[in-house]
Structure 1
Amino acid sequence: MTAGPIEFFFDFSSPYGYLAAHRIEEVGEAFGRKVLWRPILLGAVFKATGQTPLVSQPLRGPYHKHDLLRTARRLKLPFCFPADFPMATIAAARAFYALEAQAPQDAKKLALALFDAAFAQGINISTRESVLDVAEKAGLDPAAVAAGIEDGGVKQRLKDETDGAIARNIFGSPFFVVDGEMFWGNDRIPDLKDWLATGGW
């Protein structure tokens, strides 16, 4: 029987999502699991749960800013906060789903480029124009991405993915689901790997 995929839920505004995006494909390859990238909108998730962005919370915010820099150093990934953080990511998520329908690998390529633009280069990717600029620099067709961002089916897809994630009790980014087991956070990737290696506990 074919092993099920690793579902990777994230928001492009999530700095921990950025870190995880650079790690999760390696996990999938190591265990022969396909990775399904699933951008969602944390704004809708926060509305459902009453949460706020980690970095804006009293006491927790300064710690997480320190932890992000520390973790990025350990992973040898460049890190900075984009301008006007936190930022809207509707255009970025729609662009992903527009590409995924035709070329899943191009969608992942765009996702990494968007994450890198935001958290390695400090670029605000909230606008349609900034998303198209990142797509073009990544070697993708900006006209196709632009059309997808405005496509009604793509808009509905993003809404459905976000609503579906909330219905499954997915409340943060990054969030991983494999074989029905849920892991929240970049720091749970070692647990995810152990679960895959042992079959669970």
Structure 2
Amino acid sequence: MSREIEFWFDFSSPYAYFAALEIEALAARHQREVKWRPFLLGPAFSATGMQPLVQMPMRGDYAKHDWARLARRRGIPFALPASFPAATQIAARAFYWLEAEQPSLASRFVRAVFQAYFGEGREVHAPGEIVSLAARLGADAERLSTALQDPALKALLRAKTDEALARQIFGAPFIIVDGEAFWGSDRLGMVDEWLQRGGW
């Protein structure tokens, strides 16, 4: 049995932001480790016929209300950026480079991107912004900046996105424990119970 909790997400997902703030504590309670797996929701939307929530009548307005309500309930900052939903491939590529080259920074980078984008409402998806954010954590800015244009890193993110679709991951966040998949931040309580009970 794997000791990992897979956390599949897109940096543009507010629900992934909320779940990302809790998943490590949940994992620690069960002596597990989080395996962060950013991917791109765009291909998933194409495969399922879905759209970003804010582009859907009625559902978009509800989602905006729900995000603000969740933030108030949990006492955490939330500010929907003007660019939302933004393309997130630069942040995702940066994560995979950090995971390979400076792994101690990878999880901190995830939290930093989410905090900047949804906690502070900052525009952080341009290459310069991503490199600057990573550098403040201790990343090698010059090497990361070069790597972001590397075809191999672009191919890696495409492969992770293809893997997500092949595994029927169609939204964010998707949490997988011991082969069992849970979709949505509202399933964290169920994930916790599943780990406690050993499934059902």
TM-score (norm 1): 0.95
> Take 2:82 and 2:62, find their aligned partners in 1: how far apart are those partners?
20
3-state SS, counterpart of residue 22 of structure 1: helix
Post-superposition offset of 1:3? 4.2
Runs of 4+ in structure 1 over 3 Å off = none
Name the stretch that deviates more: 129-138 or 38-47: 129-138
Contact kept, 8 Å, 1:87 with 1:125, in 2: the verdict is no
> Take 1:139 and 1:72, find their aligned partners in 2: how far apart are those partners?
29
Match in the other structure for 1:147: 146
Post-superposition offset of 1:34? 1.3
Contact kept, 8 Å, 1:99 with 1:148, in 2: the verdict is no
> Take 1:148 and 1:27, find their aligned partners in 2: how far apart are those partners?
33
Match in the other structure for 1:111: 110
Q: Within 5 A, what are the aligned runs for 1:85-104? A: 85-104=84-103
Letter in 1 for 2:187: R
> Take 2:29 and 2:71, find their aligned partners in 1: how far apart are those partners?
22
Post-superposition offset of 1:26? 0.6
Contact kept, 8 Å, 2:9 with 2:38, in 1: the verdict is yes
Match in the other structure for 2:30: 31
Name the stretch that deviates more: 175-184 or 150-159: 150-159
> Take 1:104 and 1:196, find their aligned partners in 2: how far apart are those partners?
26
3-state SS, counterpart of residue 23 of structure 1: helix
> Take 1:144 and 1:7, find their aligned partners in 2: how far apart are those partners?
27
Contact kept, 8 Å, 1:27 with 1:193, in 2: the verdict is yes
Match in the other structure for 2:186: 187
Post-superposition offset of 1:140? 2.6
3-state SS, counterpart of residue 18 of structure 1: helix
3-state SS, counterpart of residue 200 of structure 1: coil
Post-superposition offset of 1:105? 2.6
Letter in 2 for 1:92: A
Gaps of 5+ in 2: none
User: How far does the alpha carbon of each residue in 1:117-169 deviate from its partner, in whole angstroms, 9 at most, with x for none?
Assistant: 10011112221112112223333322232122122222111111100000100
> Take 2:127 and 2:83, find their aligned partners in 1: how far apart are those partners?
15
